[in-house]
Amino acid sequence: MKRNNDLSISPTTSSSVPSPDDLSTPTFLSFNAVTPGCPTDSNLYAQQLQTSLRTPLSTFKNMPRTATTMARRHSVVPGSSTGPTTEFDSHAEGAPGRVQQWRIQPGTFIAFELDTNLVADQMQTDCAAVDQVRTFSKNRYIGLVLWSHTYTIEPESDDDGSLSDDSPAEVVEELIVNFVSPHPPPAPLQAHYIPIAPMSSKSPINEAPLQTSTLFPYPNLYQYTTLGTRLEVRTMHDSSLRFGLKEDEFGRLDERIALDFGVLGKLGPEDEKAQRLKVPMYSLPARVWRDVREASHSHGLKKSGSECITHPSKFVDEVEGLARLVPALAFAMADSDVTEQSSREQPSHKL
């Protein structure tokens, strides 16, 4: 699948990345960062955000769900961040009929996993942890895309300061994805979900299951309304088979999200299980599949039914395990942890 202007994205190949010579100190994330926001009613949470640390969705209140930014955000990808930005080109994308076809549209379900090979590629080749990162055990997960934007990474300049014609700019897509899980969220957010059809048993909450445009392949799953993650799509596995919400169902979910977000600011230190699943302020490099059935193919095992879908808490465990393998990741977040603790007025979760 090709992008215009020689910017390409392949079903099996990662996008090009800057030279690892400049990327020896990775940045990372803290999973109890303040949640950046809801795509609809931004007034519910805007007061919790610090624009010096992140680009909150409240900044994009009047922007389309799919937008284009001219500079990259904070990222887990080592050394490739130039800081957050609020500069958007609202004319390039987002207008009806103008969103590029390779974009992953909001309202679409995806399968995803951590792109540990990309992290390893950015580490120094003589680092002892490189092989451990490449063989790091991970699962695949399912999520619903709520919001997306793209940014451009300019190519490295030549010695004379000019840009090489052989190094086109790289376009990277970033997604905010809410988790899909075989179980409801942890307390006190246990009601922050809507079941996904097909649902064979009655849900504890009085909410009709979400209907999809293509029959969802797993029964008895729950769509979280306020808990999720931020992904940086570096490898895309395309498919003609795609799963998305019907348009009116996406609107219904949006209304629930706006309602439920009012509770997030009331979480305390005792609510650690819920805190860990909040959307982080840093993006994670991910391999993404449009066909959500790939979520059950982890480690070459093909299973069936909702029991093969991994709980989102395992995703957080994987991120924290990866940080333990690469101590520089936790060190790089030290300053952000201090700022985060000040903004939340409670101890920050250290990796």
DSSP 245: B
Mean pLDDT, rounded, for 211-237: 94
- Give the count of beta carbons closer than 10 Å to the beta carbon of residue 61: 14
- Give the count of beta carbons closer than 10 Å to the beta carbon of residue 309: 23
Beta bridge partners of 154: none
pLDDT over 90 at 208, yes or no = yes
Tell the burial category of 301 from Cβ atoms under 10 Å away from its Cβ (0-12, 13-18, 19+). Answer: exposed
pLDDT band at 235 (very low <50, low <70, confident <90, very high): confident
- With a CB cutoff of 8 Å and minimum separation 6, the contacts of 198 are 209, 215, 216, 219, 220
CA–CA distance, 197 with 109 (Å, rounded to integer) = 13
- Tens digit of each residue's pLDDT (9 = 90 or more) over 285-332: 999 999 999 998 764 555 556 678 999 999 999 999 988 887 655 544
Tell me the average pLDDT of the chain: 69
CA–CA distance, 223 with 193 (Å, rounded to integer) = 5
pLDDT band at 76 (very low <50, low <70, confident <90, very high): low
Q: Where is average pLDDT lowest: 103-107, 193-197, 272-276, 340-344?
A: 340-344
Structure tokens at 223: 């769509």
pLDDT band at 153 (very low <50, low <70, confident <90, very high): confident
pLDDT at 328: 56
pLDDT at 150: 83
Half-sphere exposure (Cβ direction) of 237: Cα atoms closer than 13 Å: 17
Amino acid in the structure at residue 144: L
* Residue 318 φ then ψ, to 5°: -65, -45
Largest CA distance in the chain: 67
pLDDT at 124: 77
pLDDT at 30: 28
Three-state SS at 325: helix
pLDDT at 65: 58
CA–CA distance, 224 with 55 (Å, rounded to integer) = 22
pLDDT at 72: 40
- With a CB cutoff of 8 Å and minimum separation 6, the contacts of 107 are 144, 145, 244, 245, 247, 250
CA–CA distance, 210 with 253 (Å, rounded to integer) = 8
pLDDT at 348: 31
- Tens digit of each residue's pLDDT (9 = 90 or more) over 258-286: 999 988 888 898 999 999 999 988 888 99
